[in-house]
Amino acid sequence: MVMSGAPKRRAVLIAGPTASGKSALALARARESGGIVVNTDAMQVYDVLRVVTARPSAAEEAQAEHRLYGFVSPSERFSTGAWAGAVEKLIQETDRERPLIFVGGTGLYFEALTNGFAEVPTVPAEVVAEAEKEIQGLDAENRARLIAERDPEMARRLRAPDPQRVVRALAVLKATGRSLASFQDAAQSGLLEGFEVERVVLNPDRDVLRERIARRFETMFDGGAVDEVGALMAMDLDPALPAMKAIGVPEIAAVLAGRMSEDEAIERAIIATRQYAKRQRTWMRNRMGDWTWIAP
């Protein structure tokens, strides 16, 4: 039991678009403070794909304790709720004198840390698959129209009707008969309630980020990404699983199948990564405007 006069436990939150240098900053802060680096990225939870998802290397992990990286099989659908549960367990079992340094680019994970997490019942995989099939082939305008017809309240809350969020809203509605909005309105307090929290967003120059993204993926191709995707393909998984949609996986899979050249795969993956970084920045501007923004 913590005495009321005891210092608050510390946490550092480091967000930013992909390839902005978050992991390097987190590692530096962990070395300085003896803190624990905690993964806050939805793709880096999966094993097999260390290079493709830009997880810290084994050498980097040896320099400071890293948690919640590569601990989930790609055959699983790992939800935000499951991640929040893993964080609650981590908080309970680690030394409160050591800062927790949360680093990543998944906005919903940071929401769970700071503002609370909506406790949504687990949605069966077959229901998610039905929702995915329903939006297959729809562009943004038609996805927006579909969710507006089925769940007007969630349609108002979705700033952009990207496939993942529309599928989530439709699947929850199908499985529970309730709007996801009703669960969000009943959200609990943030996981870091009672912590002293430092919040940082890395905001590199746009041209610098574009170059870093291009260089990163070209390096990935020569650094083991092809072997990782080959191992993933050998598992014969459902292509609708999140790990199968990680940027770089479909492109490299096409190269391995002889449907695409290596140069074309690199170009497409770079474009997809830049588009993802743009969406991340938009989300962070809308939801993290009061954080400390710094140029790495």
Task: Look at residue 1 and tell me if it is in a domain.
Answer: no
Answer yes or no: do 155 and 232 share one domain: no
Q: What is the CA radius of gyration of the chain?
A: 19
Q: Which amino acid is at 278?
A: K
Q: Strand 196-202 vs strand 66-67: parallel, antiparallel, or unpaired?
A: unpaired
Residue 151 and residue 246 in one domain: no
Last residue of a domain, one of 149, 184, 219: 184
Three-state secondary structure string covering 147-203:
HHHHCHHHHHHCCCCCHHHHHHHHHHHHHHCCCHHHHHCCCCCCCCCCCEEEEEEEC
Q: Based on the domain organization, do 71 and 138 belong to the same domain?
A: no
> What does the pLDDT read at residue 165?
84
Q: Which residue is listed with tokens 């992990």?
A: 61
Do 23 and 107 lie in a common domain?
yes
Asked whether residue 4 is domain-assigned, the answer is no
What pLDDT score does 121 carry?
80
Same domain assignment for residues 14 and 161: no
Domain span at residue 234 reads: 206-282
**Structural domain includes residue 144:** yes
**Angle 31-34-35 from CA coordinates, rounded to 5°:** 95
Q: Please give the Cα distance from 133 to 135 (Å, whole number).
A: 6
Q: Where are the alpha helices (DSSP H) in 34-135?
A: 58-61, 80-93, 107-114, 125-135
Full-model pTM: 0.79
Q: Domain containing 148 — which CATH number?
A: 1.10.20.140
Quick one: 46 and 103 in the same domain?
A: yes
Q: Is 31 among the domain residues?
A: yes
Instruction: List the strands of the sheet with 196-202, edge to edge.
Output: 66-67, 36-39, 100-104, 10-15, 196-202, 292-294
User: Domain for residue 2, yes or no?
Assistant: no
Cβ atoms 66, 41 nearer than 8 A: no
For residue 107, report the phi and psi dihedrals to the nearest 5 degrees.
Answer: -60, -40
**Predicted local distance difference test score (pLDDT) of residue 16:** 97
**Which amino acid makes up residue 273?**
T
Same domain, 55 and 113: yes
Per the structure, how many domains does the chain have? 3
| 197 and 138 within one domain | no
Residue 231's pLDDT is what? 97
Tens of each residue's pLDDT in the chain, 296 residues: 444 556 889 999 999 999 999 999 999 999 999 999 999 999 999 999 999 999 999 999 999 999 999 999 999 999 888 999 999 999 999 999 999 999 999 999 999 999 886 677 888 889 998 999 999 999 989 999 999 999 999 998 886 788 888 998 999 999 999 998 888 777 567 899 999 999 999 999 999 999 999 999 889 988 999 999 999 999 999 998 999 999 999 999 999 999 999 999 999 999 999 999 999 999 899 889 889 999 87
Residues annotated within the binding site for substrate are 18-23
* 47, 194: one domain: yes
Binding residues, by number, are 16-23
Structure confidence at residue 187 (pLDDT): 57
Residues annotated within a binding site for ATP? 16-23
First vs last Cα of the chain: how many Å apart? 39
- With b for 16 or more beta-carbon neighbours within 10 A and e for fewer, the 258-269 pattern comes to eebeeeebbebb
In whole angstroms, give the CA distance from residue 37 to residue 50: 16
- Judgement on whether residues 213 and 199 belong to the same structural domain of the protein: no
Task: Compute the distance between CA of residue 73 and CA of residue 94 in angstroms, rounded to an integer.
Answer: 24
Are both 138 and 97 inside the same structural domain? no
